[in-house]
Structure 1
Amino acid sequence: MSSTEVAGEASLVLAVPNDAVPASQRGSWTSFLKSIASFSGDLSSLTAPPFILSPVSLTEFPAYWCEHPDIFAAIADAKDDESRALAVLRWFISTLKGQYTSRNESMGSEKKSVINFPPRNVPTHLTRNRPLNPVLGELFYGKWPATSTSSSSQGTTTLLVEQVSHHPPITAYVIENKTKGLRLIGHNAQKTSFSAGSIIVKQIGHAILTVSLPNNTKVEYLITLPRLRIDGLWYGSPYIELTDTSYIVGGGYVSTIEFKGKGYFSGKSHSFKAVVSPSSSASSSSSSASSTPSSYTSYFSSNNNNNSNSNSTPSNSTPTTHTIDGTWHTTSSYTSGKFRGRPFHDVSSDHHHHHHGKTGSKKVEVTAVGGGGGGDGDGGGEEMGEFETRRLWRDVARGIREGDFESASREKGRIENEQRQRRKDEQAAGTTWALKHFVRVESDPVYERLGKLIKIVPPTEDTYVFQDNSPVKP
């Protein structure tokens, strides 16, 4: 069996119980594990056997940011900076379960790894395997229509994803609800290493959430990403743990989210502690755009003039600090502050509690839409362009779903060879691949300005500026 190239999050796949590996594949699996044990450097350059692949590309993963579109939409309903900061945190915490754990529906048990091997007689699509590594320029368009059970004012939320780099793999995305005035833009990459029996994944990138208020001001939030640690590799039961700290900064508040695993705060896996407090100092409302191309100066200056940390909608009460404790894959509650003792979030059965009571939030799958053809953003598969992920990987996905790994491997190899040839042709012609929806800029002034409030490291980071050219109609 030929091995296939794996990059980015591929390196998360590392160990499974022996009985989960098909008998015919155990040789290649064992040699893969041995190669990891003796490997130093970034694991994303390793190769892995094809039977572990999922029929889904990593370009679909940004959809996890909006598995609960009503919780995302609810951010816009907050009446003041304090409640808005709590709403942003609640939405962020509600995204983690989908992003970092998966559920084996037929077995009723949580699978705590990005890679899970289907137990015997369980259809592959019910467990999450290693996602396909996207090609440069790969696209995914989707939407979450407002459901009939929710109020019509929730609006439609749209998704646009583009693979903006292949070496290293970087994915950029935009999630937008125009009805509610919400836009999340971010990019994400991974750097993976092996340390003391665990795999450490440093997530690179950040996201900026912009909330457009009814009074025509905008509030921006900088969101940083946690590190991942994968333990239990050599015991045949790998599981993922979030580690270190994430920050959400903006709107006059800082949320500090500390992630711990078993044996720290509570002895429970997936524990977190969040502290939401007023910013100690107001951020500068301007930032130098001198290093950016002139065509983006207007983009950046308009962003920077938004008084992001002002109390644009004053709270009736004195600003207070809140502490929230719990496990991000189940429930959490307020442990200090004026809501002490009340539930904060609940994704244990895909329902969510707000501090004023329950809401009927259910996890909602994204609906893929075609961006090709007539370009109306409402088409089915027949309107998908050649770089849209579900068309690009269609034959690979079919092979994986049907257990025909030879066919899947062959199709995957064909796509990868085509990509290598494209890069060679570009090099020979002295051209580079042109991105469709984003332009890379060396330093993000919003990251720099808001990051100062938490003395962020690194103090500057690049960004991908969205070109406002989504084919997806709300």
Structure 2
Amino acid sequence: MSLQLAPVRCDDKRDEQHHKSAWFQFVKSVATFKGDLTSLTAPPFLLAPQSIVEYSTYWAEHPNLLVAPAKETTAEKRALKVLQWFLSTLKHQHASKDENGKRKKMKPLNPFLGEIFLGKWQDNAGTTNLVTEQVSHHPPATAFKIWNDTHGVKLEGHVAPKAYFSSTINIERKGYSILHLDKHNEDYCITMPKVHVEGIVTFQIAPELSGVSYIHSSTGYTSRINYSSKGWVKGKSNSFIATLYADENEKEPLYVLEGRWNDSYTIKDGKGKILETVDLASLQRTPLDVAPIEHQHPLESRRAWKSVVDAINANDVFAVGHEKSKIENAQRALRRQEKDAGEVWSRRYFTRAERDPVAERLLVTGKTGGADGHDAMIWKFDDEKYKRIMEYQQKGLKSPTHSRFDSGIGIIEIETVS
């Protein structure tokens, strides 16, 4: 999520200055913008060659850590393993540089309604599957399910980001995720921390986590993670302190995990004794298997955005804007067609639910919706839809999910939409 400029040659210095000027103009517009910043169009040179729907892959890039809780014999140790797995998901999701030390671009592509991303991880943990879908566009919301049948582990959730400006760009990620362990019939309800952007003035854009997030267990344990960044006088960036405690005895934690979510941390028992030091930087990620683009569904992210991503990688800002507008205009036209026909887009893999009893039971507030209703929509993975699509694919038939058309991508490329 950090700004990356192309390698600067003598003849590129003018472009760099132009980018800096455009960046500060963008920040100025952000500072005066009223409403959710996710609806604001970013300059093409800020765009990352990746859609937000791919962010769900960060949950399971270490499948062995995802399934590790299922192997523990006590509820206390399982809660600790869940906390450790969660901490392992933060580094690459929020790091300002990739594994090669190259700065990431700041702004991922905003998914269109119905955009999907499918993949799987295959390693010694077995096969771990992923299905992600953009289930709402206004307000934006992404739903996902990740599961490993070998170990009976399922993770399902939805994220509804809301961005606003207050001294800097801030992002709240409403929604939650539920991790379920079949063997122990346990659930863990997980919330996400807030993000704010640092380095706006210095042009060294980097995300930082702040606030508090929780993992509530159905077995009576809670993990509370407090995030902090480097202050004016002391402290380090990307820092956190996590306490795991029994719900009836919050003041006496069983474990305290402290360190930096992009580097390493220590695990201490309730008396302060160091039990282990975990080096997050040394964790090896399992590659995600994704179907070749030519075999993907038209709604799959990498196929749908290919022309835009190619332009971003070529550093062709004019082509980026042109190709991106084609998709956005086609989507607007598709929404108009639906409105005129009195129809609503059918979600491919998820179904909206009125309530979620598991989340209601585990969340401290007992509420799944925010004060502004931004995350009031609950989306659940629909096993029947998924099975039906799999059956049709095995028979070589077109999915029955959308009888009129399967995609708004490029269907109206010639039409100019105001």
TM-score of the alignment, normalized to the shorter chain, above 0.5: yes
The alpha-carbon distance between structure 1 residues 30 and 273, as it changes in their structure 2 partners (threshold 3 A), is closer
Letter matched to residue 131 of structure 1? P
Give the structure 2 partner of residue 368 of structure 1: 290
- From 200, 203, 209, give the equivalent of 1:233: 200
1:260-310 deviations in whole A, cap 9, x for unaligned? 1123997111111111111229xxxxxxxxxxxxxxxxxxxxxxxxxxxxx
Give the structure 2 partner of residue 67 of structure 1: 61
The alpha-carbon distance between structure 1 residues 51 and 279, as it changes in their structure 2 partners (threshold 3 A), is same
Cα drift, residue 349 of structure 1: 2.9
Cα drift, residue 406 of structure 1: 2.0
The alpha-carbon distance between structure 1 residues 266 and 247, as it changes in their structure 2 partners (threshold 3 A), is farther
Which deviates further from its counterpart, 319-328 or 131-140? 319-328
Give the structure 1 partner of residue 173 of structure 2: 203
Equivalent pairs counted in the alignment come to 377
**3-state SS of 1:156 partner:** strand
The alpha-carbon distance between structure 1 residues 454 and 345, as it changes in their structure 2 partners (threshold 3 A), is farther
Cα drift, residue 461 of structure 1: 5.0
Cα separation, 2, equivalents of 1:96 and 1:105 = 14
- From 97, 100, 110, give the equivalent of 1:133: 110
Cα drift, residue 456 of structure 1: 8.4
Cα separation, 2, equivalents of 1:104 and 1:28 = 24
Cα separation, 2, equivalents of 1:54 and 1:448 = 36
Cα separation, 2, equivalents of 1:39 and 1:14 = 21
Cα separation, 2, equivalents of 1:465 and 1:455 = 17
Cα separation, 2, equivalents of 1:472 and 1:209 = 24
Which deviates further from its counterpart, 401-410 or 332-341? 332-341
Give the structure 2 partner of residue 464 of structure 1: 379
Cα separation, 2, equivalents of 1:390 and 1:201 = 25
Cα separation, 1, equivalents of 2:18 and 2:147 = 45
Cα separation, 1, equivalents of 2:320 and 2:368 = 43
1:92 aligns with 2:104: no
**3-state SS of 1:280 partner:** helix
**3-state SS of 2:97 partner:** strand
**3-state SS of 1:244 partner:** strand
Letter matched to residue 235 of structure 1? T
1:389 aligns with 2:301: yes
Cα separation, 2, equivalents of 1:455 and 1:441 = 14
- From 118, 133, 151, give the equivalent of 1:180: 151
- From 321, 325, 329, give the equivalent of 2:262: 329
Give the structure 2 partner of residue 260 of structure 1: 228
Letter matched to residue 58 of structure 1? I
1:168 aligns with 2:126: no
Cα drift, residue 101 of structure 1: 0.9
Q: Report 1:306-345 matches (<5 A).
A: 321-337=254-270, 340-345=273-278
Cα drift, residue 21 of structure 1: 5.9
The answer for unaligned runs of 5 or more in structure 2 is 392-418
The alpha-carbon distance between structure 1 residues 458 and 135, as it changes in their structure 2 partners (threshold 3 A), is closer
Cα drift, residue 176 of structure 1: 0.6
Give the structure 2 partner of residue 190 of structure 1: 161
Backbone CA RMSD of aligned residues:
2.9
- From 427, 445, 453, give the equivalent of 2:357: 445
The alpha-carbon distance between structure 1 residues 56 and 15, as it changes in their structure 2 partners (threshold 3 A), is closer
Flag as ranges the 4+ runs of structure 1 deviating above 3 A. 12-30, 263-266, 452-462, 470-473
Cα drift, residue 28 of structure 1: 3.4
Cα drift, residue 35 of structure 1: 1.5
The alpha-carbon distance between structure 1 residues 13 and 391, as it changes in their structure 2 partners (threshold 3 A), is same
Cα drift, residue 463 of structure 1: 2.0
**3-state SS of 1:447 partner:** helix
1:80 aligns with 2:13: no
**3-state SS of 2:285 partner:** coil
The alpha-carbon distance between structure 1 residues 182 and 472, as it changes in their structure 2 partners (threshold 3 A), is farther
Which deviates further from its counterpart, 96-105 or 427-436? 96-105
Cα separation, 1, equivalents of 2:210 and 2:245 = 21
Cα drift, residue 104 of structure 1: 4.3
Q: Report 1:51-66 matches (<5 A).
A: 51-66=45-60
Give the structure 2 partner of residue 243 of structure 1: 210
Cα separation, 2, equivalents of 1:266 and 1:272 = 14
- From 269, 274, 279, give the equivalent of 1:346: 279
1:142 aligns with 2:119: yes
The answer for unaligned runs of 5 or more in structure 1 is 1-11, 110-115, 117-126, 282-318, 351-361, 370-379
The alpha-carbon distance between structure 1 residues 337 and 457, as it changes in their structure 2 partners (threshold 3 A), is farther
Cα drift, residue 37 of structure 1: 3.2
Normalising by structure 1, we get a TM-score of 0.73
Letter matched to residue 101 of structure 1? A
The alpha-carbon distance between structure 1 residues 328 and 399, as it changes in their structure 2 partners (threshold 3 A), is same
**3-state SS of 2:176 partner:** strand
The alpha-carbon distance between structure 1 residues 162 and 457, as it changes in their structure 2 partners (threshold 3 A), is closer
Cα drift, residue 338 of structure 1: 6.8
Letter matched to residue 440 of structure 1? R
Cα drift, residue 14 of structure 1: 8.2
The alpha-carbon distance between structure 1 residues 232 and 16, as it changes in their structure 2 partners (threshold 3 A), is farther
The alpha-carbon distance between structure 1 residues 323 and 264, as it changes in their structure 2 partners (threshold 3 A), is farther
**3-state SS of 2:89 partner:** helix
Percent of paired sites with the same residue: 38
1:140-178 deviations in whole A, cap 9, x for unaligned? 1001111xxx4xxx2111110000001111100001111
Letter matched to residue 236 of structure 2? K
Give the structure 2 partner of residue 359 of structure 1: none
Cα separation, 2, equivalents of 1:223 and 1:53 = 29
The alpha-carbon distance between structure 1 residues 435 and 457, as it changes in their structure 2 partners (threshold 3 A), is closer
